[in-house]
Structure 1
Amino acid sequence: MSSLKIHDTQALDALTGGAFSAPTSGERAARVREWLAGEPSAEQMQEVFRELSARDKGAARLLRERLDEIKRAKGQEAIAAEWSEKARHLLAQPRLNIADALAWQRDAAKAGAPLSREPLAGVKTQLAERIKGIEDLQNRVQVQREAAVLLAQRIEVLSTKSWKDAQLAVEALRADVPQWQAQAQALLDDANWGSVDARFPPLLEASRSQLQVVWDAFQTALAQATAAADDANAPLPPVPVWADELRQARGLPPESAPPKPPKPKVDPELKARANQAVSEALARLEQEVAQGHGKATAGAANALRNALKEHGRLVDDKLESQAHAALGAAGEMEGWQRWRADQLRQELVAKAEALFETVPAAAPPAPAPADSEAAAIEEAEAESPAATPVPPAVVRKPRLGGRKMQETLRGLREQWKQVDQGGPPNHALWKRFDEACNEAYKVVQEWLDKVKSEAAEHRATRLALIEEVKAWAAAHEQSESSDWKGFNRAIHQFSERWREAGHLSEKAFAELQPQWKEAISHAAAPLERAQKESVERRNAMIEEARVLGEAPMLRIDAVKALQQRWQAEAQTVPLDRKQEQKLWDAFRKPIDEAFSRKTAEREKASAALSSRDRAVLEASKAVEEATASGDAQKIRVAVAALEQALRGGEAAAAPAPAAAAAPGEAPAGEAPTAEATAAEPAASEGEAAAAAPARPAPKPVIAMRGDDRPGARRPEVAATATRPGGRFEARRPGGPGGRDARDDRRGPPRGDRGDRFEREDRGPRLGDAAFRAQREAQEHAQAALRKLAAQAHGEALTQLMAAWEQRSGEQVPSHQELGKVVSPQVRQGWIQALGKAAGGDASEALLRLEIAADVPTPGEQITARRALQLQLLTKRHEAGPQETWGTDVAKVLGTGFDAGAARRLQAALKALLRR
């Protein structure tokens, strides 16, 4: 048995794609989900669920949900089939009751039938179309009745005119009357005619018979009138107007009407009483008909009929005719209004029943899976789809909330009352309407109970808050608190809690609001007193600010102190934001006006320096233009002119000729040389350096203790040791910085320190625009000069490497291009080295050049460089690499050209030529 079970598990694992052999629960659930996406059969899902529920309840939940879904679907299919059969039974009946069709839809929705899916959607549409056809047929009956009345009126009007006019109009009537009859017959032949209301067929039949009688009589009378006109002996028609016209045409006098038999004489008093009673009933009926009140019209018509029954033999003929006409009009109106009132009632009933929607009830929580495998199998079998499908439970859920439901019910009941006033009542529809409204009112009642409980709770909360505020006010009434911000924060918190305490009725709120205002006013009284005193102090500070602002000399220290006092006051006592802003504006206004006057005076004073600023701006503009041209000579001349303008000289001074340029500068239009680039600093810095006394250059140290790697930062020990007053010399007794010179190092007394340095007279202060313009112009000029110098060095070195490669001394750059660091003799030595045959080794010369330039050496040459540095330490009296680098370059140029050696030589010369 155990082996059989293992075999089944392996088969199910293969079926589900490894859902049983997956190592984790998440992977098992994922594989079950993938397997379910393939739409397996219900039997397979049941088998997998039976085995998997004992192993992994989480993964088995997916199968349970799918099985439950299949079960619900089968249940809904059964319900749909049942209600579909009922709908088809209704449709198959020869006479369909509209109320039964509407009840089918309502009851199907209550039972949870899926009306939006087939087959119920189709039969629902068929029922709706059948109901619409019946209602349309009933409307057409009403229209046909009105058309029959109009045709009869046309015929009656012709009987009051000449027979010749009637003879002219008879052709149109011969077309209209049969057409009406055909339309009436089409109504009778309609498939839905058997389902119309029972009162409509008699109405249509009465209209048909009445119109046919009138039409037959009209045709007979017209035929007699035509025959009488042709034959003088023919009998006259029964129409009085036509008979009189024919009698006059024959030359006969008009026939007098036969006198009516006289009525028996009655008591005049009884006759007057009868006429009055019938007239009053007639007037009431006519008034109700005119206003369209169907219900009142029926009562008035019954009263008039009773009056005619009682006094008909005593009233006049004219009054009796008026009464019968009014009763006919009332009857027609009653029939139409009854139909219309029922339609309106049906709509109101549908609206009342639609206040709830039918939704499936939530499925009960699944029981906890059994621990044992046998219990899981029993549970799965009990929930198997093969079991009898149980239709899902449904619940009715309100569509509206409490308040909205109350307003809707009130509106529906008011509309029902208005319908009852316009037509006779319908007790069956009223019962349905009242039941739906009572069911919906349960939601309103529940909401009202909840509102009442919440209102009681909110009232209790507000009363407790009032008592809390009173207690807090009593505790802080006598305390002299300095934390008015905290006091104000507490008052605001109480106010926020009152606003958020919940809704109350108008009556309850009007009762509690005065108590709250009294309590919160009493609690805020200390703060209001402090705010009043603070406002008085701030007004005093505003007056002080006004006095300071009106003073001829603005005292900045007093203004700062006053502003600090204001800030301290504002941080101590809080005020209303608008009031505080208003006081602050009043405080700062006189001070701002004073500063504005001071600024205006300063600008007025600075206007006198506009000529110098203008000269500096023009010189700065000239420097920018020269910088944009890219000519080093023009840039230096423009910078010199700017320096002269800054010193207060003539801004438009003529530039110095090219011949008077500083040593090393290239003429205008030529590229700057390395010598010119070496003298790169700004004019002002150069002049300052020239004015300072030159210091003796210390002897460089070739090797020292510490980091001797190329490019490493090295402390200036030698310079510090040899600099007067340096660290080592200061320790030497009697030296410039020794103990004997302590008094000298202290310098002159403090009072005489102002004369230690003589500050250069730089003239009046520049304006902001001029200062910024000259600073930016100088920065741009220096950057352009550096860029040009770098370009010049790069071109010269490239040309030198090309001369080495081609062994051509003529291609060696000129003295000006190489710079002042390369003397003519050194350049001539390079040319001679290129003129000789290539030979020798340049490794040591390259190492010496890299040591002199302090540039990195390739990794494979590091050991040789350190060995060379040790050798140089032993030869202290020989010239170092910094002094012999020109000769070393000549040695390299004398050897054969090599790309690696050329890169090392170019890197070293790039650093050496900039010194």
Structure 2
Amino acid sequence: MRYPIGSMFPFFSRSKMSDAPEVNPAPAKTQETHPLDALTGGAFSAATSSERASRIREWLATQPAPEQLQEVFKELSGRDKGAARAVREKLDEIRRAKGQEAIAAEWADKAQVLLAAPKLNIADALAWQRDAAKAGAPLSREPLSLLKVQLADRVKVIEDLQHRVQVQREAAVLLAQRIEVLSTKSWKDAQAALELLRADVARWQEQAEELTGDASWVSVEARFPPLLEASRTQLLVVWDAFQPAVAQAAAAAEDAAAPLPPVPVWADELRVARGLPTEAAAAAVAAKPARPVRPKVDPQVLEQAQQLVREALVTLEKETAEGHGKASAGAAAALRAVLKVHGKHIDTPLEQQVHAALVAAGELEGWQRWSADQVREDLVARAEALLHRPEGQVLGGRKMQESLRQLREQWKQTDQGGAPNHALWKKFDEACNAAHKVVEAWLDKIRSEAAEHKAQRVALIEEVKAWAQDQAASGDWKAINRALHQFGDRWREGGHVGEKIFAELQPLWKQAIGAAAAPLESAQKESLARRHAMIDEAVALGAAPALRIDAVKALQQRWQAEAQAVPLDRRHEQKLWDAFRKPIDEAFNRKSADREKAVTELSARDRVVLEASKALEAANASGDAQQIRTAMQALDAALRGQAQAAQVVASAQKAEQEQGGALAVPAQAAPENVASGEAIEGAESAPARPAPKPAARPVVAVRGDDRPGMKKDAPVAPGRGGRPGDHRDGRGERDAGRGARPDSRDRGGRFGDRLGHEDRGPRLGDAAFRAQRDAMEHAQLALRKLAAQAHGEALTQLLTAWEKRDAALLPGTQELGGGVTAAVRSAWAQALSAPAAGDAGEALLRLEMAADAPTPAEYLAARRALQLQLLTRRNDPAPAQTWGQDTARVLAGQHDAAVARRLQNVLKTLLRK
């Protein structure tokens, strides 16, 4: 005998496969919401990790406070590390931004100090930009970008000053050469060029004063001011000697008794003008004996001698004309050597040219000798001034050494241009030797500091050796690595020593630090081998067809333990980590891609919805409202067609099972046909037929009412009575309730009385859902834009009809909108047909009150008065009810631009109501 399961096991109330609803379901246990769930938009209550990550990204888009980010990350990191990664990245971004702000502020202060200093060193400005970039300062953002430009401009000004100093120096040399060349020509040429030279010299001095008076002159390198000062001194010495010589030559030309100028060429010219022989010619005639008759010489020998002498003569004249004192002296010596051999074979004109060139070269050498003495005296004064500087301007050891070196180099150049002056040299050498005592004291200090630094470095080497012996058996590789880095920093910061001492200590340091780092390097090699083995394991796990999560986690834990035990170079360690992580990430990406591929495969319904969405997007682009509405209806039909087709197939299968007939489509194949899209096309092409209603089953038994005073053959009235297993509404037996429940495939509702619930079919895919949602949103936006455009066109046509007073231009009732009836439009047309008359001021105020629009300032008093009047007219309609008649009164009046603007502002609102 078989017993019902419920009678054998009272606690087992119903079968799990039963379609009947649970009679007395236990109340569901309400899950407590997380305190941060409301803050994050429901991220903590999300069902899946992807949904949780999506809500976290949406919450991060609201730019929450750092404290909230820290709290959410603390709670979320223990639940979902993938979703917490976005919060951690946001915290890291905020931390980096704060760090960059601090770095930017620090380097901005350094740049301000450089700019505020009266003297700017170009090397410091360039080092600021280089060091700021190394420190990670954002040089492309404010304020560092502006400070960088300011420093660059300041450096450019200083470099321009230095370049102008070099130009001024060359200009001074050219002016001196012009003066020296004029001393070899006629004194009249020199007198003619005197005014031009005076203007050029004055202009040169003005430019030199402009350079020294520039605000950035103090920032120029130390070698440029002495160059400019030396050029000024040399130019003024030559110029001060040239002017009196020209004046004396002019006076001697006017007065024969006046003394001759000190320039030999000018003196000879004046002697010739007075009818006297030149000094050189007179001396040559007096000293020259009578020449004996020369024997005849071979013409070829004469021609060769003439050629050699002319070549030497051309060279001397060229050097003399260019003012090259040293070169002209050498060329004169070469010409004299040629004359010793071939002088007796040249003719008289050539001999005169040779003597004139030698005289000119000798005078040029004398002129340069005199100017060189002036330069030497200036150098002596500058050397003596090195020890007599003010207290605040005393030069240090290095500056003094450089100044002495420059002075001696200038003295050497002066000696190369003229004969030496031993008296001035003695004074100059004594002054330089006295100033060199400062240099010697500085050098002694440098030597003592170098000895101290050497002792420190030697002690550091010994310390490293002792430390290496103590740490030989230690296994704390992190502490050993940290100590080695500290030793390296101390060696780099050990102070300056000479190149020779450094060359001696550097091999000892490398040997000591290499011996100390040998155990760590051995451990690092072993760690590298283990890490490469783990990388191979990761590649094998990633290439496996099934990804083993437990093996991956264990491998990652081994890697982390190895990384924490043995430190490596950060770049090398990062490369190894990337190589280890790559195959595992690729495996997870393949798994995610396969999952997404399976999810994103389009069903038949998705394809229909996608096609309808594309058609709606095309209609949106056309700008036709009717076409857009038609496409929206087609998309809505596509969204509902699958459920209708599924309902048709399900109804046919149910009818076949009940009637025992055979349908054309087997029941087992129905889901496949539905999924393949055949049922969809049929459902969309023909209206869905309603499912046949199941036949009512006859009543077999009815429970009677056995309560006192009631009839036993009457059914139990609805109430709270009945067996413990019955519904509380007392609708009868379980079978009756189960019979009242619709078929599970019809999905009529949770309870039997909800038979009218609409079936929407299976859920759409992500691509189809997004496509139909975007298409619907775009369509609604396009319809709103078209409606606004049509409203604006109708309002423009209305104002145009008023301006031209042509009722034929008035838009139709449909264009004006639902707020304008045919009677109102007729009243507007009559107002436009009649001649303009009447005042529309009060009507305009009523319209602005009806539209709640602002009134111009000049009409505010009238509007307040009208509002007070309307308060006394209790039975009069409100302006919002009579705006059509008020508009007709405005249209009946004369058109005015200001009134038209006010009318347009109110009708924008009223026509849309």
User: Which of 1 and 2 has greater Rg?
Assistant: 1
TM over 0.5: no
Q: What is the TM-score of this pair, normalised by structure 2?
A: 0.39
TM-score when normalising by structure 1? 0.38
